[in-house]
Structure 1
Amino acid sequence: MAEAKIKSVQCLSMAGLHHMAYKEWGDASNPDVLVCVHGVTRVSDDFDALAQSLCKDYRIVCPDVVGRGRSGKLHNPDLYRIPQYVSDMVTLLARVLADGEKQTVSWFGTSMGGLIGMGLASLPDSPVERLILNDIGPSLDGVALRRIGDYLSQELRFPSFEAGAQWVREVSKPFGEHTDAEWHKLAADVLRQDKDGQWSRHYDMGLAHPFRSITPESAERDQAMLWAAYDAIRCPTLLVRGEHSDLLSRETALAMTQRGPKARLVEIPGVGHAPTFMHDNQIAIARDFLLNQ
C-alpha cells in the first residue's frame, strides 16, 4: 500500500506568513500532478482512497487549506476567503512544479476546494489543464450557506472520541451510505484531543468570521464574480453533483453544462453534499475523466 509524505510550504497573507501542510503521494518525478483540495471544514486525509487509487498515474498533492488540519492559522480571520486560498495554492504549485520542465496539473476540488480550483483555473496562463468540481458551482444556495456558517461557528467539545464521532456521523448524513470503518475515518481525520482530554474539530474557529459578514448585496456580488470566473475557464471540466445536494442545485448544474467550459455533468444517486469519493464507483468517475480524455 502506498504511503504519503507530509510536507509544508510557507505562504504569505496581508497579515504575515503562515505555513500550509500537504500530503504528497506517488513518484515525485512524475510530471503529471493532481491537486486535491477539500471542503470548508475537512482536511487532506479525505483523499486517501482516491490517492491510493491514482498515485501510480499521478503525483498527488493534497493540502490542508490554511486554518485546517496540520496547517497554520491566519493572523487575520477576515482573510479566510477564496482569494487568499488561491494565492496559497499558487505558492504551493510553485514549490511542487519547480523541478520539472514539462508538467501538467489536474485539479479535484470538493465544495470549497472546487471554488479555489475555479478561481485558479480562470486566471490567464493558469497551470490547470483539467478540472473536477465536486458538488459546487457559482450559484450557492443561501439557506445552505447559512447552515455552513452556523456549523462553523459552533465551538463544540466532546468528552470522548466516540461522542465526537457520533456527532460527525449525524451532521455528515448527506455524504450518503458508508461503513462503520469509513465513518470512523471521516471522524478521526477531523477530531483532535486537547490537553484536557476533550475532543474538538480540528480547525480555526476564525473560519466562521467571513460568513458573519455576508449580506444579500455581498452574496450577489460574490455570485457574479464566481460566474465570471467560471465563464473564463477553458480547460476540460467535470462537474459531479450529489442527487440531493442542497448547495449545488440541479438548475445551476445544468447551466454549467451550457456556459464557460461547458462541464460534463455526472450525478451520484442517494448522496447530498458532498460525495466523498471513498468508494470505487465514485473514484471510477474521476479516473475515467482524468485518464480517458
Structure 2
Amino acid sequence: MANEITGVNGPITGWLDGHTYLIGLMAYPIRHSMSPTMHNNAFAKLGLNYTYLCFEVGNDKLEKAVDAIRTLDMRGSNVSMPNKKEVIKYLDKLSKASEMCDAVNTIVNDHGVLTGYTTDGIGFVRALKKEGQTVKGKIMTLAGAGGAATPIAVQSALDGCKEIRIFNLHDDKWAQAEKNVKTIEENTDCKVTLTDLKDQDAFKKSIAESDIYCDATGVGMKPLEDMSLVEDPSWFHKDMVVFDTVYAPRTTKLMKVAQKAGVEHVFNGIGMMIEQGAASFKLWTGEEMPTDYIKQIIDDEDAAKGTK
C-alpha cells in the first residue's frame, strides 16, 4: 500500500515514490540536527514530494559527496561544520552574501549547476523581523567572528544596519574578524569596527550605545551554560534588543541577565535556526516554510523531552 500524507491540496499518494526529490545535510557530526524534523514536517504539511536526510560527511569525503548531488540529481543540500568553507571550491556559483562570508550553508542544484548560499544571516534578520524588530538604521554590538557571527554581520550590513561594532578575543578568529570588517566596508555603507573583547570598558560603552546586542559566540551553551559575556544587568537598557544565538538551553545566562535588567526584547537562537532553514526551504522548493507550525513541533518535542 502506498504511503499517504495530507497536504494543503488534499491526500498525496505515492510518497515517498519514484518522483521524490532528495535534499541532504552534509556535516560531521550531524545526527543531533533538528533540520530533518523541520524540513520533512514542512514538506508533509505542504504536500511536497521531497525528503531530507542527514549524511555524516567531513572534508575528506566532501568532494565526492558534492559530486553525488549532481550524479543523483538531488535538489540540493545543507552544509554545516566542518564543510562551510571547504565546499566552495566544488561549486559553480556563489550568492553575494556567500562571497562576502566566504562560507556556504545551502547548495541548490539547477540542472547540474550548483550555487552556494548562506542563509544564517537571513535567519537572524528574519527572526528579529518576526518579533517586530529590524536591523535597518540600527547600531549593533556583535560578540564573535565565527560561523554564526560572520553571516550575521554581513547580512545585517546588506540589510541596512547603520553601524556594527564587532568584539572578539585576539584568538584564531581575529583574522576572520578583520576580514569581515574589510569586506563589509568594501561592499556596504555600514560603518564597522573591531575591538578586542578584553577591552571591557569599550565593550560596556558600546552595548550602552547600541540598539541591538547579539552574542554569536558559544558562551552560554554546554559546557559553558553557566557563563555570559555580560554578567552585570546595568550594562543593558530596557529599550534595546538582546539576542543570543544559542538555543540550548532555551533560556541562557545572558538572557537571564538581560531579563533582570528589564530588557523588553530578549531572544534565543531558536527563531534564527528556524528562519535560516525556512530560507533554504524557499530556495529549494519555491514555497514558504510554515514556520509557526514547525516551531510548535519543536516546542512539543522539547516539552516531551523535558528540555524546554
Measured against the shorter chain, the TM-score band is: 0.3 to 0.5
Instruction: Name the larger-Rg structure.
Output: 2
- Greater relative CO (CA pairs within 8 A, separation 6+): 1
- Which TM-score applies when normalising by structure 2? 0.32
